[in-house]
A and B are shown apart, each in its own frame.
Chain A
């Protein structure tokens, strides 16, 4: 099911975000896989707690960066949802 602004995304319970000091970047780790993240992607995933909506997350980052990031946040989370790394718990 596609994500919408009203979805409440959470990381798959077997995936976790760590900071990799070797590469100086956040990484998403899950069974047999690892994704190197941008700092912004790391911030998005840190907010995916299953309570905040996609719109909440976008608003939070939009305030911080003083820009409308709604489309980008939804698109990014959609990509991870396609790989079942992020799931809508709503």
Chain B
């Protein structure tokens, strides 16, 4: 059987009310005028389903800023996709949640930043606590499948137990705990986000206990911080293997961070069918299978376990996307990663997305991050 994608991540927009320092979207965001139209997205969903896609993630940015979201959900339901809304929940009203339910949305995934209001809003860079907690209650009331997702980093890892208990109290069916990955905007905040090794070790124990405690009530998915691992993550289950991302401007990519690989050109769904892009485009074929691999991957018994790791990370840290992910202890460039883990953590000071640096702000017109 030919290789078929199962999952489409539709990044409907890069516009977002949050300013998270760990944002993995690219430094250069697509402007709203460059976004795909309603009709474009509908066609993409139809083509995706015909290509074999079963799961649709509606993401961003904040997908709720698209006024046509309900129309897109309605269409995706008609073509038979299982749909997840990945949202900050800012801008959600109960009326809109009802309309999304009626249009066929299956699953709501809401991001939370911490288990305490003050810290959560400092991380998000804006008031958001109340809106998120209200939205969680609507997700339960309207009987959506409900996931809480939390990006973990130095400022919230010490409250991991409280974060897990908060998700359970909100009634989450699933909890995704993802340690920060350093792509896009997050790179500029790496020093403020990187956990200490002691935090990482403790968090693994906290998660193990919580998995047992909440078994049968809430599934806990824990994504390890790969810098602290010996082997790289099997990114997206292999390049061009089952996952496809369409960015707000229509560029189709095998991974949502892939636009940072400057040596690849990504075809656009405005000009090409998704079928052609998946099967024929140079970018999707670039790292598919194992023909492209060099040593130490080429002869490695793990090459079909982790697929050589993350191409975006290989490019970001070694300058060549075809190199072994430098997280791997077999990589000659692992020292680059080790160097980032050494040394004492600096004080936490974030560079916020969509806000001028603190020093450049005029006190009268701008508000400090809450």
Contact = CB atoms under 8 A, between A and B. Distances in A.
A84 B216 contact: yes
B351 interface: no
A18 B80 contact: yes
B219 interface: yes
B288 interface: no
Contacts of B1: 23
Interface stretch (B12-20, B47-55, B278-286, B327-335): B47-55
A33 B55 contact: yes
A30 to B, nearest CB: 7
B52 A22 contact: yes
A32 interface: yes
A14 interface: yes
B204 to A, nearest CB: 22
A16 B52 CA distance: 17
Residues of A in contact with B, size category = 10 to 19
Contacts of A18: 54, 80
A28 B7 CA distance: 14
Contacts of B50: 22
A31 B174 contact: yes
Interface residues of B, number: 22
A29 B82 CA distance: 7
Given A84-B216, A84-B219, A34 B55 contact: yes
A83 to B, nearest CB: 9
Contacts of B55: 29, 32-34
Chain A interface main SS type: strand
Given A14-B106, A18-B80, A20-B54, A31 B145 contact: yes
A86 interface: no
B4 interface: yes
A45 interface: no
Contacts of A31: 82, 84, 106-107, 145, 147, 173-174
B6 interface: yes
21 contacts: A14-B107, A14-B145, A14-B173, A18-B80, A20-B52, A22-B4, A22-B49, A23-B1, A23-B52, A30-B145, A31-B84, A31-B106, A31-B107, A31-B145, A32-B57, A32-B147, A34-B7, A34-B55, A34-B82, A84-B216, A84-B219
Given A22-B50, A31-B82, A32-B55, 13 more contacts: A14-B107, A20-B52, A22-B4, A22-B49, A22-B52, A23-B1, A23-B4, A23-B52, A27-B54, A29-B54, A31-B174, A32-B84, A34-B55
